[in-house]
């Protein structure tokens, strides 16, 4: 029988009531969340059950399909003593034209927090504006902060540190994963190099803001079209699908444009000998990454997937606890 305790009851870590992007939180807040996630994971592995969210309910609105996001948030709430409700946007009055303003106000009367997985980032910002409960970004077209917090946790577990490491992202850099990785790398003092062709560069506003922040702490951000130059001596190699959800009609063009940025044995030979490979999943094998890499000795993608649960429990504990 597992032990049941109300543990890790501490002051709130996040200064904001919401978790919408990595960039809006301080370096200290990100490190504190990671520290909490490590403790939560260790206690769970030891069979200690933390019921800190007993009686709490998380609403989960999905406009995009999901495997890891839905399961990890739902299981996370259950393990913390609470409950989660799956809500398809098609089944809500949102799908029939009810405003975000009204939906946010109503949901604030029913549940203790909302996790939203949607398209435009402005949608989640509007929810946060009108809701009186915490809003958590489960994914938008521009940001994927819960995934990147999990990525940072995974890197720390395998490398023993974050500050000073070099991360290389190869592929379509104008996507939610790359944007949140840029913000996350800067927060923890990592250097990040981005390999992408012209027309696939990261969002300019996100990049420039992160570059200014990087200067203050002495870390480095660079973008170049030469993948070999960018991956050289990387400690961490990351990619994402070349055609994300909603971009399927562009798949043929994207595969052609990004073919030189595939993460394969040849490209990774320029990374450090002990590099680790990350991918948020789902992966399109033999497109953005070869099977030999994702199934190889350097891959930590399933540790990364598991850590969605632990990192998100840290967020849930802080915002709903």
Cβ neighbors of 33 (< 8 A, separation 6 or more) are 13, 14, 149, 311, 314, 315, 318
| 170 known member of a binding site | no
| 281 known member of a binding site | yes
147 is catalytic: yes
Catalytic annotation, pick one of 144, 254, 298, 310: 144
Of 202, 215, 176, 187, the C-alpha closest to 25 is 187
268 is catalytic: no
Of 172, 167, 208, 214, the C-alpha closest to 189 is 214
Buried b (16+ CB within 10 A) or exposed e, 288-317: bbbeebbeeebbbbeebbbbbbbbbbbbbb
Catalytic annotation, pick one of 143, 240, 262, 318: 240
| 239 known member of a binding site | no
| 245 known member of a binding site | yes
| 96 known member of a binding site | no
Catalytic annotation, pick one of 79, 147, 262, 312: 147
| 285 known member of a binding site | no
| 312 known member of a binding site | no
Residues 191/221, Cβ–Cβ less than 8 Å: yes
Residues 116/124, Cβ–Cβ less than 8 Å: yes
| 66 known member of a binding site | yes
φ/ψ of residue 251, rounded to 5: -55, -45
| 280 known member of a binding site | yes
Can you say how many angstroms the Cα of residue 306 is from the centroid of all Cα atoms in its chain?
13
144 is catalytic: yes
Cis geometry, peptide bond prior to residue 22 (ω within 30 degrees of 0): no
| 146 known member of a binding site | yes
| 67 known member of a binding site | yes
Catalytic annotation, pick one of 25, 254, 308, 310: 308
Catalytic annotation, pick one of 121, 143, 280, 298: 280
φ/ψ of residue 218, rounded to 5: 85, 15
Catalytic annotation, pick one of 25, 36, 79, 117: 117
Residue ranges of the annotated binding site are: 66-69, 93, 117, 144-147, 176, 240, 244-245, 280-281, 308
Residue ranges of the annotated binding site for L-ornithine are: 176, 240, 244-245
Task: Indicate which residues carry an active-site annotation.
Answer: 117, 144, 147, 240, 280, 308
Residue ranges of the annotated binding site for carbamoyl phosphate are: 66-69, 93, 117, 144-147, 280-281, 308
């Amino acid at each position: 029988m597992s032990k049941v305790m109300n543990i890790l009851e501490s002051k709130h870590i996040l200064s904001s009531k919401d978790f919408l992007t990595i960039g809006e939180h301080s370096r200290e807040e990100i490190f504190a969340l990671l520290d909490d996630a490590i403790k939560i994971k260790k206690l769970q592995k030891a069979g200690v059950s933390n019921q800190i969210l007993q009686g709490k309910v998380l609403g989960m609105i999905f406009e995009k399909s999901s495997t890891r996001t839905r399961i990890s948030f739902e299981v996370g709430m259950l393990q913390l003593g609470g409950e989660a409700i799956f809500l398809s946007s098609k089944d809500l009055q949102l799908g029939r034209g009810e405003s975000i303003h009204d939906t946010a106000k109503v949901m604030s009367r029913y549940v203790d927090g909302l996790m939203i997985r949607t398209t435009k980032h402005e949608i989640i910002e509007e929810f946060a504006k009108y809701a009186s409960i915490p809003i958590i970004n489960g994914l938008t077209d521009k940001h994927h902060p819960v995934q990147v917090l999990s990525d940072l946790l995974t890197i720390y577990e395998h490398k023993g540190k974050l500050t000073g490491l070099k991360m290389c992202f190869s592929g379509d850099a104008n996507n939610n994963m790359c944007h949140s990785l840029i913000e996350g790398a800067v927060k923890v003092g990592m250097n990040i190099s981005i390999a992408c062709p012209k027309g696939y560069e990261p969002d300019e506003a996100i990049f420039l803001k992160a570059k200014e922040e990087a200067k203050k702490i002495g870390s480095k951000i660079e973008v170049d079209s030469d993948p070999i130059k960018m991956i050289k001596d990387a400690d961490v190699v990351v990619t994402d699908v070349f055609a994300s959800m909603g971009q399927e009609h562009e798949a043929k063009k994207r595969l052609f444009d990004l073919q030189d940025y595939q993460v394969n044995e040849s490209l990774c030979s320029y990374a450090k000998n002990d590099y680790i490979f990350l991918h948020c999943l789902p992966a399109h094998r033999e497109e953005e990454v070869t099977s030999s890499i994702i199934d190889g000795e350097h891959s930590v993608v399933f540790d990364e997937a598991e850590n969605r649960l632990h990192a998100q429990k840290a967020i849930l504990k802080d915002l709903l606890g």
